[in-house]
Amino acid sequence: MIDVRLLRDDFDATATALARRGVDRARLEELRELDERRRSLVAAVDEARADQGAASRAIGQASPDRRGAMIQAAQELKDRVATLESERDEVVAAHTAAFAAVPNLPHADAPDGVEGDGVVLRTFGEAPTFEDGVRDHVELLEAADALDLARGAKVSGSRFAYLKGEGALLEFALVRYAIEIAMAHGHVPVIPPVLVREEAMYGTGFLPTDEQQLFATRDDGFYLVGTSEVPLAGLHMDELLEADDLPLRYAGYSPCFRREAGAHGKDTRGILRVHQFEKVELFSFVAAEHSAAEHERLLAIEEEVFTGLGIHARIVDIPVGDLGASAARKYDIEAWLPGQQAYREVTSCSNTTDYQARRLRTRVRVGDGDNVLVHTLNGTALAVQRAMIALVEQHQRPDGSVVVPEALQPHLGREVLFAG
């Protein structure tokens, strides 16, 4: 959620900034009018209540024989309060709903454009070359019985898979490897709940805008998280932190569940796009003035993770038209996938400024009882399935085995995978 005051005090600049990401100016004008009506009704209710309160208190002080008439007068004041309140509640509800759907203000440096218009900031690692043809991850993993897609489909449907044998071991190794790097940078490892209440989804900005991407449980009203960003952001919901507490840095490991609605026919092969995957997610709570630096810091950790795996990739500054509702700016790492001859997203790192914090009511006490919103950021340390694809495809050898990068060897306990 953005600051309501922006629409009152700085309408033009706000509308111009939001227009970059496709928010209609007329809609914002309506919202501003709604806000004005809301405030005048709040003031009217306050005033009516003050009258009624004064009348009630006077009854308490009055002698019993005078009370009858006073009670009657107070009753009328009560009715007026009730009328104004219902009017106010209606406007507040409309305002809240409309306002929650407004996305975050884009960062001034985020590039213009829509999906595909990202700006490549830099590349790292070296693209492997293959003389005798390339296998993709499905061929490599299935040949080694490390992946079973057919049985995943049998049991759960399309976009589900089994990781087995060395595939399963590879996950454990990748996770441990990523967690250790995150810890070295001060992130506390966390295994969060993956079923969350509506409130947490709303607070992180996935509701109301991304409802069609979420799985939900039928009888208990839970949502399955699409990323541990949700429970990590929720950690300090409704909390007033002390300045000394910041920065708070976490690394969550969890399965992630996504319906992938609207992606029919897209990436149907293998485990690039699945309904369930695992991920190590970085999350930071920082003071507002440090969020830009923290964003670069998280990106650097991501880069360290992939550099250590010897993976060639590029870093893309995501255009405003392709940002999630809560992000002001986002960097993706796209790894080179030899099996596709394409760069594909393997991480995503967002600065959500105060957008999530405002919804989650996570604040920090500064100076003289002044409470300000924190800034929150998230970034993928390692998305298991996608990292696995990049790793096996880039480090494959002609016989279908895969060279294990040195940094991963201690966690995997072997130098070569799929050697048969």
Partner RNA sequence: GGAGGGUUGGCCGAGCGGACGAAGGCAACGGUCUUGAAAACCGUCGGGCGCCUCGCGCGUCCCGUGGGUUCGAAUCCCACACCCUCCGCCA
**Interface residue list for RNA (CB under 7 A):** 4, 39, 42-43, 45-47, 49-50, 52-61, 67, 71, 74-75, 77-78, 240, 363, 365, 368-369, 371
Task: Annotate 407-418 with DSSP letters as a single string.
Answer: GGHHHHT-SEES
User: Is the Cβ of residue 25 or residue 37 nearer to RNA in the bound state?
Assistant: 37
Half-sphere exposure of 350 (CA within 13 A, CB side): 25
| E strand segments, 48-128 | 119-124
For 240, the 3-state DSSP assignment is strand
Q: What residue type is assigned to position 96 of the chain?
A: T
Residues in the chain: 420
Residue with smaller CB distance to RNA, 19 or 98: 98
**52 vs 401, beta carbon nearer RNA:** 52
258: annotated active-site residue:
yes
Reference 142, options 164, 123, 125, 126; nearest CA is 164
Among 21, 38, 258, 344, which one carries the catalytic annotation? 258
Considering the candidates 32, 49, 259, 273, report the single residue annotated as catalytic.
Answer: 273
Give the C-alpha separation, 330 to 327, whole Å: 7
Residue (47 or 112) nearer to RNA, CB: 47
d(CA 197, CA 224): 9
> Which residue among the candidates 228, 348, 350, 401 is catalytic per the annotation?
348
* Contact status, residue 284 vs residue 299, Cβ threshold 8 Å: no
Write down the least CB distance from residue 262 to RNA, Å. Answer: 32
Closest by alpha carbon to 389, among 136, 102, 171? Answer: 136
* Nearest distance from C-beta of residue 202 to RNA, angstroms: 14
Active site residue 273: yes
What is the DSSP-derived secondary structure letter of residue 130? -
In whole angstroms, the minimum distance from the beta carbon of 124 to RNA comes to 40
CA dist., res. 134 & res. 162, Å (int): 23
**Which residues on adjacent β-strands are paired with residue 139?**
none
Q: Identify the active-site residue in 38, 88, 135, 386.
A: 386
In the complex, the smallest distance separating the C-beta of residue 170 from RNA, rounded to whole angstroms, is 25
Amino acid identity of 32? R
Contacts of 82-85 with C-beta under 8 Å, sequence gap 24+, read 84/41, 84/44, 84/45, 84/48, 85/45
**Residue 377 and residue 352: Cα distance in Å, rounded?**
6
- Identify which of residues 91 and 388 has a Cβ nearer to RNA in the complex: 91
Instruction: State the nearest-atom distance from the C-beta of 46 to RNA, in Å.
Output: 4
Nearer to RNA, 96 or 268 (CB): 96
Which residue, 53 or 398, is less far from RNA as judged by CB? 53
As a whole number of angstroms, the distance between CA 215 and CA 195 comes to 10
Residue 266 Cβ, how far from RNA at the closest point, in Å?
A: 36
Closest distance between RNA and the C-beta of residue 333, in Å? 34
43/97 with CB nearer RNA: 43
Residue 386 annotated among the catalytic residues of the structure? yes
The helix/strand/coil state of 189 is strand
CB-based burial label for 381 (10 Å; 0-12, 13-18, 19+): buried
- Residues 213, 215, 219, CA angle at the centre, nearest 5°? 145
Smallest gap from residue 193 Cβ to RNA (A): 10
Q: How far apart (Å, rounded) are the C-alpha atoms in residues 50 and 57?
A: 11
HSE-CB of 36 using CA atoms within 13 angstroms: 9
Pick the closest to residue 302 from 343, 263, 266, 334 (CA basis). 334
Task: Point out the residues that are catalytic.
Answer: 258, 273, 345, 348, 386
